[in-house]
Every structure is written in C-alpha cells, then in structure tokens.
Amino acid sequence: MTEYLRLDSAECTLILELPQGEAPLWRYWGLRLPDGVLPPQSLRETRPTPSFSPDFDQPLSVFPGCGAGWFGESALLAHRDVRDWSFQATQCRVEQADGSATVTVFDEVSQIEVIIGLTLNAVSNVLAIETKLTNQGNAPLNVQWLAAGVLPLPPDAAKVHSFGGRHNGEFVPVADQLSRSTWRRENRRGLTSHDRFPGALVEANGATYGAQLAWSGNHAQSIEWIDDGRFQWQFGEWLAPGEVRLAPGECLTTPELLATCAHDADRVAQNFHAAIRQRLTWPGGAM
C-alpha cells in the first residue's frame, strides 16, 4: 500500500509519496485541497516508462540525484577527489509532527547523509525548507551545490516574475516566459544585491507561487522543465569553486527557503508579511 505524507495550512497543501528506500516524491504543492484527499495510486503506476530511459522511472523527489537515473538538475553536486559524485538515496526515514516533517536520506555508497526539514505554517501558509548535509565518509567532501529546497511547479506554470536593477534603481520588474529552456538567476556579489533579489513569483493557471531564500549572501535559483511536463524550482547558496570542503563528520546547513502559494500575487505577499511578523520580536509583544 502506498504511503503519503500530507501537510496543510489554512490555504495550502503539500503531499509527498513515500516509497521504500528512496527520497519522497513530490505529488502536490499548491492551493488547499479538501480534507482527506490523497492520490489514488502511486505515481509510477500512472505513467509508462519512457523509451530509451532507465527501466526504473525517476519522478521528481524532494532531493533528486543523478545516481539512479535522474537526468534533471541534481539537488547535490559534490565529490571526493572525483569519486562519490553520484548521489542516490538508498535509505530514507520520515518523521512527522504537527505541521512539519523531517526527511533523512542516506547514500550507502557515497556515505552522505542529508536531512531535510519541512514546516508548513498553519497561519501564514508559508512553507519553510532547510537542508543539512553531513559527510559520513572517511575523506573530505567537496561541495559545489546543495539545494536548500526543491519545489514542484505545475505544467501550466507560464511566467516567472523577478527583479533586476542597479544602485538607486532597485527592484526593476522583470518578466520571463517559462519554456523548456532552464531559467536561472545567480548572485555573486557576496550580499543581497540591487540586481539579484533571492526570490521570484511564478504565474500558473489560477494560482501564483512565490519563493525566496532567507539569505543575504551569494545565491542561485533555477526553474527547469522536467520530462513529465512539470517544472522543478531549486534555491540555494551560490558556492565559489573550492569554497566548501567538508572534513569527515563535518556538516553544511543551507539557508532557509520560504515558499507559498495563493490565488494571486497580492495574497502571496500577505503570506510572506505574516510569516516575517511571526518571526520578529516586537517591543511589548505586539506590532
């Protein structure tokens, strides 16, 4: 029997499929679904294996890696002097609490452990994702990319709104059509800059998705079309070559990724405002 994890807020729902020995698969992230609604069957039962592809279908997971035949962008790019570069989760443990879940995946070959925390706030409707990587091997691990979070976007996602600009001319709106070409933004200035805001909005049919990295340094985000017609949206810290080299037992924790979904951009902004107000300590206890 297929197992699922579902998190709900007042206006949003997240559903993950939990196959044995793999990272959980993204089934849904979007506007609130009716109580009790879950997929009727596992994702692999609903789609044929594409020709000239591995016999074992690889849908989008919360932490995709190229070790098992995932040909899209990986959530991790790392190696031990050109060894152990192909991550594949061989063990997985999922723990669920009120409004949150912790996913622990482990690759027995590369000896890499990844812990992903997901919390969907019931009031603000904002999903917070944070990822922690631990080098469990006996040699240093060079990390080039570690996604703070991987989000699914629906097939009808059509346009992405971001911001450009310059000093004294910040937050210039930029709109790009989504296609099968990868959309990407990177910041290498060392701090949140006037030309690379670490977030964006995505328009789909009847819904708007917003995400931003809670981080003031170098960052990268990308939206990539995947073979089943959906898109994956990744965020993380942009790392310079050689910047992160983890000794055995050392960890790397990403900045938080904050994401939400609503009927329009105004409501997305309100959700983010509510999330930030919850995090601030106000004099006297109130805004």
For 9-73, give the DSSP string: -SSEEEEEE--TTSPPEEEEEEEPPPTT---SS-GGGGSPPPTTS-SS----BSS--GGGT--S-
Which parts of the chain sit beneath pLDDT 70? none
pLDDT of residue 196: 86
pLDDT of residue 275: 95
Residue type, 128: A
Element (H, E) at 185: strand 183-187
Q: What is the dihedral of CA 272, 132, 63, 43, to 10 degrees?
A: -80
pLDDT of residue 64: 96
- For the stretch 38-61, pLDDT in tens is 999 999 898 887 777 777 788 999
Q: What is the Cα–Cα distance from 87 to 99, expressed in whole angstroms?
A: 29
Q: CA nearest 154: which of 285, 40, 64, 29?
A: 29
Domain span at 14: 4-285
Q: What is the dihedral of CA 31, 71, 258, 43, to 10 degrees?
A: 30
Segment 239-243 long-range contacts (CB within 8 Å, at least 24 positions apart): 239/143, 239/144, 239/145, 239/146, 240/188, 241/144, 242/142
Number of structural domains in the chain: 1
Element (H, E) at 95: strand 91-97
pLDDT of residue 80: 94
Q: Alpha-carbon Rg of the chain, whole angstroms?
A: 19
pLDDT of residue 66: 87
Q: Please say whether the beta carbons of 274 and 124 come within 8 A.
A: yes
pLDDT of residue 166: 86
SS3 76: strand
pLDDT of residue 177: 97
Q: Please say whether the beta carbons of 192 and 198 come within 8 A.
A: yes
Q: What is the Cα–Cα distance from 153 to 208, expressed in whole angstroms?
A: 10
CATH classification of the domain holding 46: 2.70.98.60
Question: How many residues are there in the chain?
Answer: 287
CA 250 to chain centre: 23
pTM of structure: 0.94
